[in-house]
Amino acid sequence: MIIVTGGAGMIGSAFIWKLNEMGEKNILIVDKLRNEEKWLNIRKREYADWVDRDNLKEWLSIEENAKKITAVIHMGACSATTETDG
């Protein structure tokens, strides 16, 4: 299983699209879905599951889940242009 953090964002969802094009569907999307619009980015993507970013540590603490991981693609970031905490 490939974890893609920020997978529901514009760049993360494009990365998942490319993984799908390569035949990869065993993907765990990790993101914070604050509004309905972010779902639009992944509605046509194929993936195994998604986890809220705040629950990733809990998900990984389950040994069975952690053993499934083959790669992590970290695309998660604060992309707000109004961020004041440098």
Q: What tokens were used for 66?
A: 């952690």
pLDDT value, residue 39: 85
Residue 17: φ, ψ to 5°: -55, -45
CA distance 58 to 82: 30
- Residues 15-29, mean pLDDT to the nearest whole number: 97
Q: Round to whole Å and give the CA distance between 49 and 27.
A: 7
pLDDT greater than 70 at residue 44: yes
Amino acid 72: pLDDT: 96
pTM reported for the whole predicted model: 0.85
Q: Which two tokens stand for residue 79?
A: 């992309």
Cα–Cα dist 86/8, whole Å: 24
pLDDT > 90: percent of the chain: 72
Backbone angles phi, psi at 30, to 5 degrees: -120, 125
Position 34 scores a pLDDT of 76
Average pLDDT on 29-47 reads 88
